[in-house]
Amino acid sequence: MKILIVEDDTLLLQGLILAAQTEGYACDGVSTARMAEQSLEAGHYSLVVLDLGLPDEDGLHFLARIRQKKYTLPVLILTARDTLTDKIAGLDVGADDYLVKPFALEELHARIRALLRRHNNQGESELIVGNLTLNMGRRQVWMGGEELILTPKEYALLSRLMLKDICRQPGASGNSLQRYLQLGQRALDQHPGSAYP
């Protein structure tokens, strides 16, 4: 699952990206509405985290525009605007959730999980390759019917591999995926801390 974070505060943006990656999500970060729109047109995202105070356009106008273009992915507004009127306006324009700064990372993560579960049919969106099953909404993995307990980095690597075309092609097997995982684990062992740019 890939998240687009739209935040003009560079330090906060970097922190949000790191926090999302630690939770196992692929993540892109941009600082303007224009860059966000270009990213949405070029990539596939599961969710957008949107600040409203952007330098080139108000986040509410940006949100209204992407909803008019029929983007249906969940949008979580993350902003310092804390009045009831602000919250109602954000939700009415098309946000799926609204969180006020300052916030606890645990709450942000829980809200992201909830939005993804709802958007992915209550968490039943699954990828299956060979005898591996990955439930993206619940962030659980099974091999041969037995649940595997993975670290966030292991989950991120496995989900990325399973989403890649090579793993989704007819004939891809759990054995071929295990070979890729072993190569990935060796790379992580040799270059700790370099799993994410």
CATH number, position 14: 3.40.50.2300
Q: In a 3-state reduction of DSSP, which class is residue 151?
A: coil
Q: Which of 69, 93, 119 is the last residue of a domain?
A: 119
13 with 87, same domain: the answer is yes
CB-CB contact of 134 with 141 (8 Å)? yes
In a domain, 196, yes or no: no
In a domain, 195, yes or no: no
In a domain, 96, yes or no: yes
Write out pLDDT tens, residues 51-68. Answer: 999 999 999 999 999 999
pLDDT for res 161:
82
36 with 81, same domain: the answer is yes
Mean pLDDT calculated for residue range 147-166: 78
Tally of CB atoms within 10 A around 166: 12
User: Pairing mode, if any, of strands 2-6 and 26-30?
Assistant: parallel
**Distance, CA of 180 to CA of 170 (rounded, Å):** 17
How many folded domains does the chain comprise? 2
49 with 130, same domain: the answer is no
pLDDT for res 121:
57
**Distance, CA of 132 to CA of 157 (rounded, Å):** 14
102 with 143, same domain: the answer is no
Domain hosting 135: range is: 126-190
